[in-house]
Structures are given as structure tokens and as C-alpha cells.
Amino acid sequence: MSKKPLVYLPDPLLRQVSKPIERFDDQLRKFADDMFETMYAAPGIGLAAVQIAEPIRLIVLDVAKDGAEKSPMAFVNPKVVHSSDTRSVYEEGCLSIPDYYAEVERPADVHVEYFDLDGKQQLLKADGLIATCIQHEIDHLDGVLFIDHISKLKRDMAIKKFKKMAKDRGTTRQII
């Protein structure tokens, strides 16, 4: 396993739509291990493959509380097949948008169809933090960020701040 470098706002990769996964092999499982290692090291509770510069439809989550036993979950080609009309609000953050948090409203309950790392189809019925987290990560696969769910004014302020930080870091990537 190895930790990978994260991709940060405003990297245009974060706006890319990730490709469906067709092969369930050791290479995929090894890549998922790298994602877990990167997520735990950050630390974070969710990560999409595109956040380590691999635009494929794979996300990992672990929403276990601090001190509780680890509860790693990996989702290949996840798709929301049902969302409740009831909504909930959580303060969200993102490993690609460090030290920035905002309240986001999303459906409170979702059903997600996905494949596990062995290629077996699964269904997750989620509520609470895990429902929010999985929707946040699935958004990443479609090039959507949590700041897209907040007001344009707040979003523009956040993007401006991160563009400046990228410039100060001397990033060579094109800025969106």
C-alpha cells in the first residue's frame, strides 16, 4: 500500500467525469488499498479516485467514530437509485478543499447500487452521515464538488482563495 498525493481545488481534474470500471482484478484492489491509506493518513472519512488523479468510478469511505474499530467500505460504479424527499444538513469538508467547511443540504436517505471489489453487485440503504458522505463522493465521480451546493457568492470566494493558494504553491496545472 502506498499513500498518494491529493489533487486540490482548483485543479481541473476535479471537474472531470470519471470512467466506469470494467475489470475487477488485483490491480483494482491494490489501488483501493492506496486510496484507503491516503484517506486514513489525511485523515478523512471519504475519498474518490479522482482525488488522487485517477478518474475512475471508485470511492472509499470509513465513517467509524474516532477510536472505534475501522470500517472500510469501497464502492465501484456506485449509483443513487433512490433518494428521500426528507433532507438533512451537514457541515461538509473535502480533502481536495482543505480547511474549508460549509453546510450542505442533501436527501437524508439514499439507496445506492454498486459493485464491491470482487465485482459482486450490492445495494446499500444509507441514512445519517454515511448517506451524506456517499452522496458527496458520488458527486466527485461526476465532477461535482460540495461547494457547488452552496451559494454562488460563497463558492466564488472559496475558489478565489484556493486559486491564490495554488498560485502561491507555484502549481504548474492549468487553473479553472
The footprint of Ni ion on residues 55-94 (CB under 5 A) is 94
Whole-angstrom Cα distance, residue 75 to residue 57? 8
Nearer to Ni ion among residue 94 and residue 134 (C-beta): 94
Residue of 54, 91, 113, 137 marked catalytic: 137
Q: Which residue is nearest to Ni ion (CB)?
A: 94
**Could you tell me if 70 and 62 are in contact, meaning their C-beta atoms sit under 8 angstroms apart?**
yes
Q: What is the largest CA-CA distance in the chain?
A: 45
Half-sphere exposure of 143 (CA within 13 A, CB side): 9
- Beta strand 109-115 pairing with 73-83: antiparallel
Burial class (CB in 10 A: 0-12, 13-18, 19+), 67: exposed
Of 120 and 154, which CB lies nearer to Ni ion in the complex structure? 154
CA distances from 78 to 3, 19, 99 (A): 23, 12, 27
> Is residue 134 at the binding interface for Ni ion, with CB under 5 A as the rule?
no
- Shortest reach from residue 110's CB to Ni ion, in Å: 16
Nearer to Ni ion, 44 or 114 (CB): 44
* Least distance from Ni ion to the Cβ atom of residue 81, Å: 22
Q: How far is the CB of 148 from Ni ion (least distance, A)?
A: 11
Residues 93-122 that bind Ni ion (CB under 5 A): 94
Q: Measured from the CB atom, is 21 or 39 closer to Ni ion?
A: 39
Task: Verify whether residue 69 is a known catalytic residue.
Answer: no
Enumerate binding residues for Ni ion (CB under 5 A): 94
By annotation, the residues acting in catalysis are 137
